[in-house]
């Protein structure tokens, strides 16, 4: 209510019928203008009482939040706002913060979007203050999908910068089998030319098959190099959602446990219960875990201990995988994430490269520390998409 309207209401008893009508018209115009502003906002606005009952919301909030029912039609019921929402994560966030009387709290959520995609939302609770008292809560909802997609695109463009080095490695890898194929074709050509100049008989069958066998092997080798190259340069197509990393880690360990036990590898698992949900792709994160666990297995052929630990440090989720294996020297550690670098007789040298690409896709970082005979420790750090929290005291007014 404007200062003019407030003064007019205070003198209401002294106003004529015509002046009262003018005042009401002005108040209606002001309310209509405020409604127009509210409905025009791209940010979703939900206003609730201190008990969580819905007071008002705009169209943007109805678009973003998956409601189970039309909220305005149930505004006068005893339903709390979270009892109208069809998303367990948002429901838990609102319910817990109301129960603990917290405001100025924010979190990010992934919900089904239009066309079967994923929409990312930033939901924030702020106190509704009137006359120095908290009368309820304002819930703001912002669609941050485009922002997240731009961040993903930027990371993919940065990954392309490493293609020059990768292409040089592939060129070197291709050169050797091509040279071998060329040599064996020349040998067959000489044998055929010699046969034509003498008795016209074909070269010895075993000799020809020997050359052809080598050529076929080198062709298969070339095909594998090309397939590995395509795998390495293909952009990581991550379908990011807000997921519980501890649960994904536990599922992976449960899957790998029989094989680890068969190799006499003991598992020591320590998962921090305070770890929040992170922006992850479940399949890609599982691929990271499986690669690192398999590396640990290879490093402990006679058994050992694999320690997996999660913790929250400096607004980051930190995952460490430590083994008691053979370890690596400094030279190996410095090249471990490079394409085609491997210490295994049958390795492709792309496993840890892919792990590095996936972690970068998650806006994170991965490092390794190792020493010969003392094992290796891989450390993954991922950002936590969570705002600051501050506790405010609520009044008992509805």
Question: For the chain, first and last CA: distance in Å?
Answer: 21
Rounded to the nearest integer, the mean pLDDT of the chain is 81
Statement: residue 41 has pLDDT above 70 = yes
Q: Which residue has the tokens 């020997």?
A: 210
Could you give the 3-state DSSP secondary structure of residue 2?
Answer: coil
In this prediction, residue 40 carries a pLDDT of: 84
- Asked which of 101-105, 188-192, 267-271 is least confident by mean pLDDT, the reply is 188-192
Statement: residue 348 has pLDDT above 70 = no
Statement: residue 31 has pLDDT above 90 = no
Binning pLDDT at 50, 70 and 90, where does residue 246 land?
very high
Instruction: Calculate what percentage of the chain has a pLDDT beyond 90.
Output: 27
Q: How far apart are CA 327 and CA 76, in angstroms?
A: 66
**What crossing angle do the helices spanning 163-197 and 205-233 adopt, rounded to 10°?**
170
In this prediction, residue 378 carries a pLDDT of: 95
Binning pLDDT at 50, 70 and 90, where does residue 206 land?
low
Statement: residue 4 has pLDDT above 70 = no
Strand partners of residue 120: 110
Q: How far apart are CA 311 and CA 309, in angstroms?
A: 7
Binning pLDDT at 50, 70 and 90, where does residue 397 land?
very low
Statement: residue 5 has pLDDT above 70 = no
Statement: residue 395 has pLDDT above 50 = no
Residue range 9-23: mean pLDDT, rounded: 74
Strand partners of residue 106: 124
Statement: residue 102 has pLDDT above 70 = yes
Statement: residue 365 has pLDDT above 70 = yes
Q: How far apart are CA 273 and CA 276, in angstroms?
A: 8
Tally the residues of the chain: 398
Query: pLDDT tens digits for 144-187?
Result: 988 877 876 776 666 555 555 666 666 667 777 888 888 888 88
CA–CA distance from 171 to each of 159, 183, 223 (Å)?
A: 19, 18, 13
């Amino acid at each position: 209510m404007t200062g003019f309207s407030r003064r007019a209401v205070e003198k209401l008893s002294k106003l004529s019928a015509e002046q009262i009508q003018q005042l009401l018209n002005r108040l209606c115009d002001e309310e209509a203008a405020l409604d127009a502003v509210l409905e025009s906002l791209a940010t979703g606005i939900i206003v609730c009482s201190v008990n969580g009952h819905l007071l008002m919301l705009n169209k943007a909030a109805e678009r973003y939040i998956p409601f189970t029912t039309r909220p305005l039609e149930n505004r006068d019921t005893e339903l709390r706002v979270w009892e109208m929402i069809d998303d367990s994560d948002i429901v838990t966030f609102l319910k817990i913060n109301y129960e603990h009387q917290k405001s100025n709290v924010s979190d990010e959520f992934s919900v089904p979007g239009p066309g079967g995609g994923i929409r990312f939302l930033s939901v924030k609770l702020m106190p509704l203050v009137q006359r120095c008292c908290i009368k309820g809560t304002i819930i703001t909802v912002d669609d941050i999908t485009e922002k997240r997609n731009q961040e993903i695109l930027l990371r993919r463009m940065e990954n392309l910068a490493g293609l020059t080095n990768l292409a040089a490695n592939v060129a070197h890898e291709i050169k050797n089998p091509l040279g071998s194929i060329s040599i064996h074709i020349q040998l067959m050509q000489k044998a055929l030319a010699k046969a034509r100049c003498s008795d016209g008989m074909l070269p010895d069958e075993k000799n020809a098959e020997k050359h052809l066998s080598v050529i076929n092997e080198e062709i298969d080798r070339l095909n594998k190099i090309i397939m590995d190259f395509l795998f390495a340069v293909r952009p990581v197509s991550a379908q990011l959602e807000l997921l519980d990393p501890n649960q994904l880690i536990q599922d992976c360990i449960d899957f790998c446990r029989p094989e680890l036990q068969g190799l006499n590898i003991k598992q020591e698992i320590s998962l921090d219960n305070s770890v929040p949900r992170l922006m992850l792709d479940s399949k890609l994160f599982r691929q990271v875990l499986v690669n690192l666990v398999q590396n640990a297995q290879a490093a402990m052929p006679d058994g050992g201990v694999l320690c997996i630990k999660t913790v929250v440090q400096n607004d980051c989720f930190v995952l460490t995988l430590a083994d008691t294996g053979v370890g690596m020297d400094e030279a190996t550690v410095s090249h471990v994430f490079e394409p085609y670098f491997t210490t295994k007789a049958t390795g492709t040298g792309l496993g840890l490269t892919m792990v590095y690409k996936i972690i970068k896709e998650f806006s994170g970082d991965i490092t390794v520390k190792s020493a010969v005979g003392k094992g290796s420790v891989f450390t993954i750090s991922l950002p936590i998409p969570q705002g600051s929290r501050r506790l405010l005291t609520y009044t008992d007014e509805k």
